[in-house]
Structure 1
Amino acid sequence: MPTTPKLIRETFPVGPLQCNCTIIGDPLTKKALVVDPGGNPEQIMARLEQHGLKAVSILHTHAHLDHFLASGKMKEQTGATLHLHRGDQFLWDNLEMQCQLFGVPYTSVPPPDRWLEHGEALACGCGVALHTPGHTPGSMSFWFEGAGLLIAGDTLFRRGIGRTDLWGGDARQIVRSVQQLYTLDETAVVITGHGSDTTLGEEMRENPFVRA
């Protein structure tokens, strides 16, 4: 039987706070998801072009300023739809205020086109959205079972978890969300919101904040 080509995946830090932006592309249709475009839209567009991909969806793990700064430009240049969980609408509505508080230049962005729901299939048919609140009320992770890949945003880090002392954070919720992620394939690679990749198995055994 013919094998299914592997998804195209590239992750690289962008923006003033070095958020990890990830491109997930279907090698057959050449459609792509862009997750957390936190700045440097020209760089993201260049990477898409290098892979011969067209962005159709811009996904946000949550609505903190460092995960959206290139979203407006990306939508303008590609026509891709903006996606966010409704629980973070209050943060999205106050992105300019967030930027002012952290001394980061504000780049305008239109309202989200679609609200993400737990368990919904993502564009390209290659993954699903998982609601993993705690870092923010609307924090999402994106699970690509066939590729053994989890984009966890700021919910789970290598030997860490997301902070819960910002707007809407909840320490108990983030523990429950991480435990939910631990039910997935422990061999899966985890793309974190900042810093290096890890695996679910490593975090299940060695994360000092939440163990399986």
Structure 2
Amino acid sequence: MTEQNPALIKETFPVGPLQCNCTIIGDPITKKAIVIDPGGDPDIIMSKLEAHGLKAMALIHTHAHLDHFLASGEIKKKTGAPIHLHKEDKFLWDSLETQCRMFGVPYNPIPDPDYWLSDDQELPCCEGVAMHTPGHTPGSMCFHFEKENLLIAGDTLFRRSIGRTDLWGGDFKTIEKSIRDRLYTLDEETTVVTGHGPDTRIGEEIRENSIIRG
């Protein structure tokens, strides 16, 4: 009888001036990891990686609003990990300086993404899969770790709420379709790590989300 593979290492913590949830997911055997939405506080992110003994293989972004990638350049410099983003959010990535100015956040140049994410693409480690879920932004992504019953939802789905659609490229009908057709079809026990605030579960949102019910 073979032993089951140990659970992935997962830690989520708020970073940056807008308290974006950054998530580190690592393989406990290979020690390879991905950093999702490094939205600030690069020293904290690096200390978390070091505490778990993990090596960042990729910096993965749910979308390109400033609060989700403010530390990306610094983390890339420290780890060499490439930056991943959906191409439809490149216009937002290119407008970082404007976004920072609007929110009164210091501007630090960040290099262009190294790789473009696509729908149903396997992530570099930990058996995660990218899901294109536009609506909050045209290139918004969620990341599904089926074996762990885990979804990193970015700003697409929140506990009892959804992502804003009044910012650049947002569209309510599009986010509604993404949530109904992609997210609400997942296992109801799936834990949802949101872009800001507390976790939730798919089943809870299907039944209790007042904006988009299943």
User: How many residues of Structure 1 are paired with residues of Structure 2 in the alignment?
Assistant: 212
Give the aligned partner of residue 196 of structure 1. Answer: 198
For residues 3 and 133 of structure 1, the distance between their equivalents in structure 2, rounded to whole angstroms, comes to 35
Give the aligned partner of residue 65 of structure 1. Answer: 66
> Structure 1 length normalisation: TM-score?
0.99
Residue identity opposite 2:199 in structure 1 = D
Deviations 1:69-125 (A, max 9, x none): 000000000000100000000000111110001110112110000000000000114
Deviations 1:115-155 (A, max 9, x none): 00000000114110000000000000000000000000000
Deviations 1:142-170 (A, max 9, x none): 00000000000000000000000000000
User: Is residue 185 from structure 1 mapped to residue 187 from structure 2 by the alignment?
Assistant: yes
Give the aligned partner of residue 151 of structure 2. Answer: 150
Give the aligned partner of residue 110 of structure 2. Answer: 109
Which segment drifts farther, 198-207 or 122-131?
122-131
Contact 2:25–2:126, Cα closer than 8 Å, also in 1: no
CA shift, 1:15, in A, is 0.2
Residue identity opposite 1:85 in structure 2 = H
Deviations 1:13-39 (A, max 9, x none): 000000000000001110000000000
Deviations 1:167-188 (A, max 9, x none): 0000000001111201011101
What percent identity do the matched residue pairs reach?
66
Residue 3 of structure 1: SS of its match in structure 2? coil
Give the aligned partner of residue 136 of structure 1. Answer: 137
For residues 194 and 95 of structure 2, the distance between their equivalents in structure 1, rounded to whole angstroms, comes to 24
Unmatched segments (≥5 aa) in structure 1 = none
> Structure 2 length normalisation: TM-score?
0.98
Residue identity opposite 1:98 in structure 2 = Q
Give the aligned partner of residue 16 of structure 1. Answer: 17
Deviations 1:27-78 (A, max 9, x none): 1110000000000000000000000000010000000000000000000000
Residues 202 and 171 of structure 1: is their aligned pair in 2 closer, same or farther, counting only changes over 3 Å?
same
Residue identity opposite 2:107 in structure 1 = Y
Unmatched segments (≥5 aa) in structure 2 = none
Residue identity opposite 1:138 in structure 2 = G
Which segment drifts farther, 76-85 or 120-129?
120-129
